[in-house]
Each structure stands twice: as C-alpha cells, then as structure tokens.
Structure 1
Amino acid sequence: MSYDMAFWQEPQEIDAAGAYQKYDAMTDGKSGVSAESTRVRDFYAAVLKNYPDLTVENSDTSPWTSAVYCNGECVIVTISWSRKNELVDTLISLAQRHGLLAYDPQKEEVHR
C-alpha cells in the first residue's frame, strides 16, 4: 500500500476539488496541466538528495514504492505506507520552501 502526493507550481488560489482535477489529469499522464517550472525541477532534485529514488539495490530501505515522477510540470511520489508519517510533513515543508503547492489526495488537502 502507498501514500501518494503531488507537487506543482500553482499561480492562483485553488481548492481541493480543482487540485484533484489537476492531479487526476497528471496521473493520467497528460501534459500541459500546469506550467513547467524550474521550481519543480529544483524541488525534485532536493527530494532525491534527501531520499534517493527507488532502485533494485535500495528497495528494502527506500521510502518509495515506485520511482519518483517528474515531468517539469509536477512531481508525483508514492510513499511506502509505513514511511508516510516520516515523509509527508517533510515533503510539504520542502514544497513550501520551493514555492510549490502540495496536494494530498488521500485527505483531499491542498497545502501552500
């Protein structure tokens, strides 16, 4: 089981329903849902610096259940359920420092 989160630059206010629509499109692989941003790429690099991407070699210790996804518009993570308490708040804080929105689809919450 995993705990999913998404991060992107959102220039205007957005509620949970609007964020879900964007998240749904992003997880369907659509592009152009959000503008590409260096903030997204910088956030992605910071995430991987703190929590290296999932590999065969680190599959027993990685917090991820699949590779961290980044297309320049968004970063989507699938956190191992057992590690969610450790990572969720940290990732939200990191996103805020990079000026990104964090969307938690499990709780239907938007964090700025």
Structure 2
Amino acid sequence: MPHLTRDPVMAAGHLIVALQSVVSRSVDPLDTAVLSLCTIEGGTAPNQIAGRVTIRGTLRYHREAVKDTILDGIERTCAGHRDQLWRQGDARDGLGCGCGDQHAR
C-alpha cells in the first residue's frame, strides 16, 4: 500500500531544503561558514519507494563556535523533520543525523 508507506526520498528532499537555511539563519554574516550537501543516494528501481536515503556533504568554518552553532542547527532540523515526517521516536526507520565536518583554515 504505497499511500501508507514512508518515503525517504520525499523526506530527504524536505530536509535538504531546510538544511540550506541553517547557515543563513544561524551564523553571523561576518563569520564564514559553508554547509554543502553534495550527494544523495537512495533506491534502485524507478517503480519502488526507496528503503533508505543517504545525504552526504561538508561543513566548512573558521571558528569552533560557528561549528557548534551549525551542528546544533543541523541536529534540531533533523529532529524536527524526523518528528514531523515519521512517527515520533521511531528512529530506526526515521531520519538519523550523523555529522562529520571539514574544518577550513
């Protein structure tokens, strides 16, 4: 029953759009930071809902305080989308948020 299925690709699309505002709405314009979401992988067939989606990217910044602010924003955004698009607390099937970063110097 496709209408009852959770769609990770749709959820990933919403999450990508939301994550693009984390830097612009959380970081002082005089600080430097870039969050790039560069790859999205999910599904193997055009007629099946993907079971999982992976989004990968980089985070670049100069100050540790900026890094902390952005990572907090990423975590809040992921949690909000998980709770909105999936049943709350169902982390196994929902959105996870693993954060890695690349520190620019």
Q: What TM-score range do you get, normalising by the shorter chain? A: 0.3 to 0.5
Which structure carries more relative contact order (alpha carbon 8 Å, separation 6+)?
1
Q: Which has the higher helix share?
A: 2
Query: If the length of structure 2 is used for normalisation, what is the TM-score?
Result: 0.46
